[in-house]
Structure 1
Amino acid sequence: MTEDSVISHLPVQFEQIEAARAALEGVVLSTPMDHSRALGRSVGATVHLKCENLQRAGSFKVRGAYVHMASLTEEERARGVVAASAGNHAQGVALAAKRLGIKATIFMPQGVALPKLQATQDHGAVVRLHGNNVDEALAEAQRYAEDSGAVFIHPFDNPHVVAGQGTIGLEILEQQPDVDTIVMGIGGGGLLAGVAVAVKEMARRQGRTINIIGVQAANAAAYPPSLAADAVVPLSNVSTIADGIAVGRPGQIPFQIIKELVDGVVTVTEEEIANALVFLLERSKMVVEPAGAVGVAALLAGKLDELGISSTSTVAVLSGGNIDPMLMLKVIQSGLAAAGRFLTVRIALRDRPGELMTISRIIAETEANVTRVDHSRIGDTLGLGDVHITIDMETRGRDHSEEVLGRLRAAGYQPIKQN
């Protein structure tokens, strides 16, 4: 995989990544590497987190955007730039444009997270909402570029962008020289491709092997079928909380690199992503967006074991931290539920005095914490004199949840666990 003949024919070369790093000097942060003992205990290896969620504009995207825009001629800069994004690339382009004195127009999907929309505007970009997903916004941005003459800054399918993202790989090797496995998310593939070129070339020079693993949300996973077909296979529909990687069509440039250099691509469920976000909040004190947490989700779910990869020193890239607080609330609840720490039950009972008190006493005796009770006398399945109660409660985990359910059943009730 890392033979010189393989590296040399790829659309992005190691020397371009070195040049990108020089261009980014003083522009981006060399983000910290955090040792996660808790995650290491969970996976049985030393694990570090590359904290691009702490990067300027909240994600790695500013790296590639700036490198591309810094390469433009004066005539191109005068025409302005246009981009499309669900948020992170938008902010990266807007920040780079502000620093370089270039007018930026950004197309974002309808329903984009308000914090990402506001942050993009705060950097001085003109934002236009179009389409229901990133792919539709991308198509509109490309039409705008053709009509207006503005330079289109692609979020991942551009060699300058890929080279800029690849600078993360150089930093990882400097900060964690003994790394043998690097895990990160994939949308269009620019980050994974850039890091793969940087890391595989350095590993070749050092005469060692470093595994590069990509992670996609299961509901937005275009790379597995594309790699199987040895050609880009677009998805007709993507739907995931990880909006930063909700891309239905891999980039041609990243795909050429990934199929040659990457050691595996795995997928994670929405529940596994939510669980990873809660884990990072609780154990690492890190605010990370869903797309930025998929690498950790893969580690927690044992996805590297499925690939047969044994690692002693792993780095997971936290690629972004721009999460809508309202989404965070929903994800935290979902993550707690996925970890068995949030239980919702529905119970049918006779409408008579003392029933709710009895149920409350049983739950209290198990030391679960009730957070909400809904009491309904009306419903298609309810007879006269019947009620339904729905109870939300916090538990210590799956075993504790089963204990609560068992105690309720032993008392003669029939609790139905709700999703």
Structure 2
Amino acid sequence: MIAGKPIDKWIEEYPLIKELVETKEVFWINRNSQDQTKDNVAVGIEEIKEAETRLHRFSPFIKASFPETESSNGLIESPLVDIELMKNRLEDTYDCRIKGNLLLKCDNELPIAGSIKARGGIYEVLKHAEKLAIENKKLSITDDYSKMSSKEFKEFFSDYSIAVGSTGNLGLSIGIISAELGFNVTVHMSHDAKEWKKELLREKGVKVVEHASDFSKAVEKGREECLKSDTCYFIDDENSKDLFIGYAVAAFRLKKQLDRMKIHVDENHPLVVYLPCGVGGGPGGVAYGLKKVFGENVHCFFAEPTHSPSMLLGLMTDKHDQISVQDFGIDNRTAADGLAVGRPSRFVGQIVKKLISGVYTVDDDELFKMLALLVDCENIQLEPSALAGMYGPVQLSKTDDVSLVKLNNSLASGTQLVWATGGSLVPEKIMVEDYKKGKTLLHSL
């Protein structure tokens, strides 16, 4: 029994589940999609603006602590680039026609953590650090926050701990920034986490606890351990409003980048965004922010591995975290470690269930193929999970669902945007191996 019903009843009610169980690629259209950000009170526009202001207050600290941010004056942000050559290669490889411009939001180049987790993860740690410092009268919001890189502050924060459960990238972002501030930080890693990510964290002085189970169990164990200490702060990837808000800030910055590129977004020039999805915090926060900025003129699709379609299951059935992919016999094993999540965030699912346009799944082999294609034609290196979004334009071009006819017709004058969620910290040896695997798969076509 799964949430009170046998699996055959679930399949009868939601026929797409049969294809999910067989780990086939699917494209699910959200029939309940509508623009409800104006009515959604879970996260207010002022909270997102406050987060942006807080990040600016911290920019002197970021600049002082991480030299790679000097050129951006301590701002943690990524480029937005046109990938016309990749668009052509996708069309040739997958025998499709991709309409409109194709852009890449290069969160793989985000400083400090090299992934989208540098947004939400780093933001929540900074907010917590600011709160502690202000409460202990060591900081005022009018101060120059570069003072927080001093020995005095490191000693102060060493009396406190931070913990998180992660498949990899969130642990990297939180571990790196927390250790730099001086916190004692523990990252509980699921079995899916790449070995190099564990090693990098240990090099930064982070305690890594490995678990034989998946993401949800790593989060559960981290939460349990943190509750034992009054000075430990747990960052809950399954249920964190601050993480969500940190990601949402990206939408306002993207608007400025599009404006600089003279790319308009309106009814006749729609914006379609493809976001790789694990537990849901990153893509959920970004999608929510985008809806706040562009309303009905932006269409967001989440991308999941065929072996880890947790958000799709949760949204489609409206059961969210009450069911998991393992309940249906899906193994949750994927090379896309950041997306290896068997149970989605209920907090995020409830917020975005009427905001996103759909969810599609992608086979691991396709991730490696697109990884190799992107290196060959654009010289951009991403980790496998970050390529999940790249499959979106291909999937959309091949979808003949009547509800998407209007969108497809208007895309000739619109923009499609792939969110690249990570890759710059991948060791060269592993990147070469992934590239070779992709080339081998392409040659077999």
What is the TM-score with the length of structure 2 in the denominator?
0.70
> Is contact 2:190-2:210 (8 Å) kept?
yes
> Is contact 1:182-1:213 (8 Å) kept?
yes
C-alpha displacement of 1:62: 2.1
d(CA) in 2 for partners of 1:85 and 1:223?
A: 17
Task: Give the number of the structure whose alpha-carbon radius of gyration is greater.
Answer: 1
Please point out which of 232, 240, 243 is paired with 1:161: 243
Q: Which residue of 2 aligns with 1:280?
A: 374
Structure 1 residues 202, 301: CA separation in 2 closer, same or farther (over 3 Å shift)? closer
d(CA) in 1 for partners of 2:397 and 2:164?
A: 34
C-alpha displacement of 1:123: 2.9
d(CA) in 2 for partners of 1:39 and 1:14?
A: 35
1:313 partner amino acid = T
C-alpha displacement of 1:12: 2.1
Q: Which residue of 2 aligns with 1:65?
A: 121
Please point out which of 137, 142, 149 is paired with 2:223: 142
Range with greater deviation from structure 2 (98-107 or 220-229): 98-107
C-alpha displacement of 1:7: 3.4
2:273 equivalent to 1:182: yes
Q: Which residue of 1 aligns with 2:146?
A: none
1:170 partner amino acid = F
d(CA) in 1 for partners of 2:400 and 2:253?
A: 28
Residue deviations 1:280-319, cap 9 Å, x none? 2111211111111111123245567356342321111101
Please point out which of 208, 217, 222 is paired with 2:310: 222
Residue deviations 1:159-184, cap 9 Å, x none? 10011011222222221243511111
2:272 partner amino acid = T
d(CA) in 2 for partners of 1:135 and 1:326?
A: 30
Residue deviations 1:123-143, cap 9 Å, x none? 332212222432222121111
2:47 equivalent to 1:16: yes
- SS across alignment from 2:297: coil
Q: Which residue of 2 aligns with 1:151?
A: 233
RMSD of aligned C-alpha atoms? Answer: 2.4
Structure 1 residues 131, 119: CA separation in 2 closer, same or farther (over 3 Å shift)? same
Greater relative CO (CA pairs within 8 A, separation 6+):
2
d(CA) in 1 for partners of 2:357 and 2:421?
A: 19
1:319 partner amino acid = T
Name whichever structure is richer in strand by fraction: 1
> Is contact 1:266-1:303 (8 Å) kept?
no
Q: Which runs of 4+ in 1 moved over 4 A?
A: 1-4, 75-78, 301-304, 324-327
> Is contact 2:372-2:439 (8 Å) kept?
yes
- SS across alignment from 1:314: strand
Q: Which residue of 2 aligns with 1:413?
A: none
Alignment of 1:78-93 (within 5 A): 78-93=159-174
2:291 equivalent to 1:200: yes
Residue deviations 1:349-379, cap 9 Å, x none? xxxxxxxxxxxxxxxxxxxxxxxxxxxxxxx
d(CA) in 2 for partners of 1:304 and 1:14?
A: 36
Residue deviations 1:7-42, cap 9 Å, x none? 333422222222222222324422101110123333
Q: Which residue of 2 aligns with 1:318?
A: 420
- Structure 1 stretches of 5 or more lacking a match? 344-397, 399-419
> Is contact 1:68-1:161 (8 Å) kept?
yes
> Is contact 1:156-1:190 (8 Å) kept?
yes
What is the TM-score with the length of structure 1 in the denominator?
0.74
Please point out which of 333, 336, 346 is paired with 1:242: 336
> Is contact 2:76-2:118 (8 Å) kept?
no
Structure 1 residues 36, 30: CA separation in 2 closer, same or farther (over 3 Å shift)? same
2:441 equivalent to 1:338: yes
1:33 partner amino acid = L
- Structure 2 stretches of 5 or more lacking a match? 1-32, 63-74, 92-97, 137-156, 266-270
Structure 1 residues 300, 282: CA separation in 2 closer, same or farther (over 3 Å shift)? farther
Tell me how many residue pairs correspond in the alignment. 338
d(CA) in 2 for partners of 1:220 and 1:128?
A: 23
